Amino acid sequence: MSDENFNQEQDVSLDEQIEGILDNESENTQSNNKPDKETETQTEDEIVENKPQCPEEFLNQDGTIKIDDLIKSYNELQVLGQQKEEWEKEKTDLQKQVEYAKQLREQALFEAQNLGYQTPEEYAFVLQIANATADEYMKYLHTVEEPDKVRGLLALYAKNPTPELLEQIEDEFSVDVVKHVSVLSERTKNQVLQNLQQQRLETIKQEAETFVQNSVKDFPQWFKIPEFTEFFADALRIKGDAFETATFVKHIENLKEYFRKEFLTEQNANKENKSELDSLKNLAPKTKQGFSTKKNVEDYSPEELDRAIEELI
């Protein structure tokens, strides 16, 4: 074979190989582009499964959707959603206020205890009297030898009223001024105590009113009974803060059930007694029908006479 023929055969063979490779690539590309039936079916099933289902109350009998009802319900839900957001915001704000109030309370307690007082209320009470005392002494600064010094002592006493500071301040004033301020301080103390007592009574009154209103709301059927209301009021006055309406009503209901059982027992006993009396009446001898007194004995036949005697017996 010549070199030329050999080269031609090689070219033909090479061309066939290239064409075969291209054909295979084309078939693979078409095979890859063709969607898999199983995958396509699964995708459609997933779409159907994930499709939101309309509630039955929004469907007509033929399966179509009630558009107006659906829109109305959606609008109502939007309003509720907005209200929920507002409620959540209010809740968050309240929580912040509670936390802030708690921090203030802890800070006030720390300051009071640091100054030797048990509670912030005790410290506030003493501080109120001390401020009134300091203000009254300020009116008589012109009578002391060192006004600036005494002014500083009064400022310290208004913030931290201690017996030592008060003694130093009193040494700077005359006896008459000290007596006058002492009387005023005592009056202020009594007035503050009276105000605190009034506030406590008002708080107790408000709490009692709220407690009674809630009790009436929880057990309205009982408060329609005047006797129960009077008993409730007496029990509340005696028990005070330890009073629990639910427990009280439970005791009353137990008493009611006890009396009901006692009444039924008595009724049943009365019925049994009546039944026994009726039975005794039934046991009494019945009146026998005697023979007529208008008929003489000699008028009876022997058979009639025997029958009459048997009836009498």
What are 53-112's pLDDT values in tens digits? 777 777 777 777 777 777 777 777 777 777 777 778 888 887 888 888 788 778 877 877
Give the pair of three-digit tokens for residue 143.
């009578």
- Given this model, what pLDDT does residue 200 score? 84
With the C-alpha atoms ordered 56, 62, 63, 68, is the resulting torsion angle positive or negative?
Answer: negative
Q: Match 């208008």 to its residue by tokens.
A: 294
Give the residue among 273, 308, 274, 271 at the shortest CA–CA distance from 292. Answer: 308
d(CA 148, CA 154): 10
**Is residue 185 within 8 Å of 133, Cβ to Cβ?**
yes
Confidence of residue 4 (pLDDT cuts 50, 70, 90): very low
**Is residue 305 within 8 Å of 313, Cβ to Cβ?**
no
Q: Match 């074979």 to its residue by tokens.
A: 1
Beta bridge partners of 65: 59
**Tens digit of pLDDT for each residue in 23-63?**
665 555 555 555 554 444 555 555 555 556 777 777 777 77
DSSP string, 155-223: HHHHHS--HHHHHHHHHHS-HHHHHHHHHHHHHHHHHHHHHHHHHHHHHHHHHHHHHHHHHHHH-TTGG
Give the pair of three-digit tokens for residue 199.
């506030």
d(CA 112, CA 171): 27
- Which residue did the predictor score with more confidence, 65 or 291? 65
d(CA 298, CA 313): 20
Q: Is pTM, for the whole model, over 0.75?
A: no
Give the residue among 280, 281, 214 at the shortest CA–CA distance from 246. Answer: 214
With vertex at residue 193, the alpha carbon angle to CA 191 and CA 197, rounded to the nearest 5 degrees, is 115
Give the pair of three-digit tokens for residue 189.
């103390």
d(CA 79, CA 83): 6
d(CA 110, CA 153): 24
- Given this model, what pLDDT does residue 28 score? 57
**Is residue 134 within 8 Å of 157, Cβ to Cβ?**
yes
The three-state secondary structure class of 59 is: strand
- Domain residue spans in the chain? 55-114, 117-210, 219-271
Q: Report the amino acid identity of residue 279.
A: S
Helix ranges restricted to H, the chain: 3-33, 37-50, 67-114, 120-138, 147-159, 163-172, 175-218, 226-239, 245-282, 302-312
